[in-house]
A and B are shown apart, each in its own frame.
Chain A
């Protein structure tokens, strides 16, 4: 852990008051944060086993715990066969259902007895196994984690059980307005074949079987595309033999799958509102957006600041407008999902049914204002401070650090990302914001999804005139 001093005039520009002095009556102006806030940056020790597995250690010895993440690039949904959506996460979920001869129950019992929690899952660009355990039990738990990664048995019985559980989950997916909205948005922005647009159907789920799972595991889970990140009360020298014993024998089998570039997203010609009926819904779930940028974007920092101002924090413009000013929503926000390819920009909220049309208008007003109106120095300073100064909070726990490092590994970066993080945030200008807002926000070529009570909202949504309205059916997006 190294300690870097940030020299920020944090808040001084915003907080008009003078520093408090002496034993006085209650001051009527706020005290200024004084002194440069400190940030402890993780300084990993990085090693490589002969089989290609990268191992990173970060010592954070506040408590006798270890947070371990094994991140495997190319084992996420981006790299599964197009006809088999869900195979990546299904494979990941199957890995702790029996390994190295222990059946699912024996494996779970062994971990539980150690007080360890181990979970396996996958995202878009990588799979992760996450272990959290007290230091004393780390060696035993790590061996079980290695079994799960290297020697999963994929018992037929458990494949069938998990597949049935997925069919059950699919059957109820249409109950949730948020699920419908998310699926529909992804599909309408990227098309139902694109890795960022497709979602599993009952039919594709029925096709998940042991052979496919085994094949995906063999080609995608490999030491040379994986990184083991250990954060906590760990001493690299003492731990190296354990890691070598647990993971040293891991070899990729057969041909490795390549990391492909996701196909270019389809072009959106004009903004269209897709209305999906959810009879009796108390709120309308709104999603607005289009393809955004990849994680490798040179505009990462200006976009981070711009989106935070638009919809990334409580005082953001969208939340202030829809929640605080109008009271139509419990909350509203936006995000850029930066992936290996250009993941979506999306703005979203659940809004009361009778304000669906007005909320749509306000969403577009705020997105347009971001493009056309210069930001005030005060608002820019607040947002930059917020993003930069929250860095210590984002690196607080062992799980925070391992999670941050896992994301960096997924996208081919390392902890040096944090070295100039604060400077790069603070260097963002109002001109940068205006430029990236105009370049990356496209309100005239966006997908708008509204999941709500059609009978109540349709006429008003049409009248709001943010784009032509198309009625779509839920069964197109939740295919049970």
Chain B
């Protein structure tokens, strides 16, 4: 059954003419749990994907990293699931599972043969309703150790890993919940108490603060019965207050230098953009790709291909619930002065602000984004995550066609406009990571 409807334009090109939607149904339980079901019988597989609308942006100072630590505890068993059996039972049914935490949300998912969907729903319900019934100090201790090792492995023992700790406090005032990392500080991880677990669960892990997407080879009526039976009894909780914080502006351009045990100097620049699905997000994403993605991308071609002073160029617009940041990251070749790299970035941004890119340059980028979008829908888990993502950030699980329409509508003038409005001459944060003892390679003011 072909569930994804592509209304193809009769002309093969441009790809941008294609329309995409992800057919699905939604319902809400009396306790507030929002449910999205999408049939896809192309493979005998299904994904169950739960989003809790809480992330590190809901933490308080002194307990940074807690939302993520809590995510780990969610796998350690619940009222009717002995420690270890969450994974044992899923694996015995041929399911893989995982979870992730960011500033705004925490997700959990299982991917399995479609005959195991009921088991996954039961397990998710048991931990949504009964995590604390089986909580004990040993679970917190165990996962505290694991998370500290995740931090060591992914940040401390990772060359340039300190970037992710350096950036947030430079981008946001200390009072802003995006001013710390999702992984948290070692001191705060050490400080976490059992009572924090209880309180966090009671505040945020409630059906009315979650949504669940079930995608794949399923019968929607059957899924609804299971969801009602397994989740329906879980009591609603107080409504969760979303942080209401206006997006802060960057006051001035700042330069920061960090030394690391690395060989190549690297500069990363951040500009403030806007929240997820705000008006200019698609144009900014395309602008980022025009700068760094593809051999002819402005910065790649100049720094990696022509001048050969950089090892790679990378960009991304991290648009979230409260704010967005466009990152441009360039790793230089040995001994290259990062002032040179910074100047090249400024020049290329100024060039786009002065003259729009060609239509073809924009089409190249948009066509790649669209192929990537369609490709993601091959996987039931990616599709499920996307439906939950649209529901949370756009307020509408059926946002796919509008999402893509934004890209199809882009014009070269839009790229020029956002280059001017968000980048050229705007305050930004510049972080240089240089080999130890080589601070002279860092990008510096007025160089």
Contact = CB atoms under 8 A, between A and B. Distances in A.
Interface residues of B, number: 85
B263 A171 contact: yes
Interface in A349-388: 350-352, 381-383, 385-386, 388
B45 A396 contact: yes
Contacts of A270: none
Contacts of A326: 145
Interface in B11-64: 12-13, 15, 18, 40, 42-45
A324 B142 contact: yes
A63 B264 contact: no
B123 interface: yes
A463 interface: no
A320 B83 CA distance: 12
A104 B12 contact: no
Interface in B103-146: 111-116, 118-119, 122-123, 125-126, 129, 141-146
Interface of B: 2-4, 6, 8, 12-13, 15, 18, 40, 42-45, 79-81, 84, 87-89, 91-94, 96, 111-116, 118-119, 122-123, 125-126, 129, 141-146, 148-150, 152-154, 156-157, 159, 229-230, 233, 261-264, 294-296, 301, 304-305, 308, 311, 333-334, 360, 363-365, 367-368, 370-371, 374-375, 377-380
Contacts of B92: 10-11, 14-15, 381-382, 385-386
A33 B153 contact: no
Contacts of B230: 26
Interface stretch (A79-87, A122-130, A191-199, A276-284): A276-284
Smallest CB-CB A-B distances: 8 pairs = A389-B94, A327-B145, A115-B367, A37-B113, A62-B42, A108-B295, A282-B156, A115-B371
Contacts of B296: 105, 108-109, 112
A113 B125 contact: no
Nearest to A164: B308
Given A15-B89, A61-B2, A323-B149, 8 more contacts: A31-B118, A62-B3, A63-B4, A136-B8, A172-B262, A350-B157, A382-B92, A385-B93
A30 interface: yes
A161 B264 CA distance: 17
Given A23-B229, A132-B371, A105 B305 contact: yes
Contact of B375 (A40, A65, A113): A65
Interface in A154-191: 161, 164-165, 168-169, 171-172, 174-177
A33 B115 contact: yes
Contacts of A116: 371
A379 B40 CA distance: 33
Interface of A: 10-11, 14-15, 20, 23-40, 60-65, 104-105, 108-109, 112-117, 132-134, 136-137, 161, 164-165, 168-169, 171-172, 174-177, 279-283, 313-315, 320, 323-330, 350-352, 381-383, 385-386, 388-390, 392-393, 395-399
Nearest to A138: B12
* Residue from A313, A393, A398 whose CB has the most chain B CB atoms within 10 Å: A393
B94 A30 contact: no
Contact of A168 (B18, B152, B154, B311): B311
A109 B146 CA distance: 45
B152 A175 contact: no
Given A14-B92, A109-B296, A176 B45 contact: no
Contacts of A24: 229
Contact of B149 (A27, A65, A350): A350
Contacts of B129: 26
B94 A65 contact: no
Nearest to B363: A113
Given A62-B2, A113-B360, A137-B13, A388 B94 contact: yes
Contacts of A109: 294-296, 360, 364
A282 B96 contact: no
Contacts of B42: 60, 62
Given A62-B4, A172-B159, A382-B88, A134 B374 contact: yes
26 contacts: A20-B229, A30-B81, A36-B115, A37-B94, A61-B2, A62-B4, A62-B42, A63-B6, A65-B375, A104-B305, A109-B296, A112-B296, A116-B371, A136-B8, A164-B333, A171-B334, A172-B311, A280-B261, A313-B91, A326-B145, A327-B144, A327-B149, A330-B150, A352-B148, A381-B92, A388-B94
Contacts of A14: 88-89, 92
A33 B157 contact: no
A169 to B, nearest CB: 7
A30 B123 contact: yes
A383 B367 CA distance: 42
B378 A315 contact: no
Contact of A65 (B88, B152, B378): B378
Given A136-B8, A161-B305, A314 B91 contact: yes
Contacts of B153: 283, 329-330, 350
Nearest to B4: A63
Contacts of A39: 44, 113
A336 B122 CA distance: 35
Contacts of B126: 26
Nearest to A382: B92
A437 B93 CA distance: 25
A427 B146 CA distance: 36
B113 A389 contact: yes
Nearest to B88: A315
Contacts of A351: 149
Given A63-B374, A176-B159, A282-B156, A392 B113 contact: yes
A38 B262 contact: no
A350 B230 CA distance: 39
A328 B263 CA distance: 29
A329 B377 CA distance: 33
A424 B445 CA distance: 66
B19 to A, nearest CB: 12
A172 B263 contact: yes
Given A115-B370, A393-B111, A382 B91 contact: yes
Nearest to B360: A113
Contacts of B115: 10, 33-37
* Residue from B12, B92, B141, B368 whose CB has the most chain A CB atoms within 10 Å: B92
Given A30-B122, A33-B116, A168 B264 contact: yes
* Residue from A172, A283, A320 whose CB has the most chain B CB atoms within 10 Å: A172
Contacts of A25: 233
A175 B6 contact: no
Contacts of B13: 136-137
A396 B40 CA distance: 12
* Residue from B12, B93, B296 whose CB has the most chain A CB atoms within 10 Å: B93
A11 B142 contact: no
Contacts of A324: 84, 142, 146
A352 B145 CA distance: 9
A315 B84 CA distance: 8
Given A65-B374, A164-B308, A165-B311, A11 B4 contact: no
Nearest to B150: A330
Nearest to A396: B43
A324 to B, nearest CB: 7
Contacts of A64: 6, 8, 374
Contacts of A28: 79-80
* Residue from A26, A61, A65 whose CB has the most chain B CB atoms within 10 Å: A26
A330 B183 CA distance: 13
A397 B379 contact: yes
Given A61-B2, A137-B15, A174-B263, A113 B367 contact: yes
Contact of A323 (B116, B146, B365, B375): B146
Nearest to B81: A30
A328 B94 contact: no
Contacts of B87: 314-315
Contacts of A114: 15, 367
Given A31-B122, A282-B157, A137 B12 contact: yes
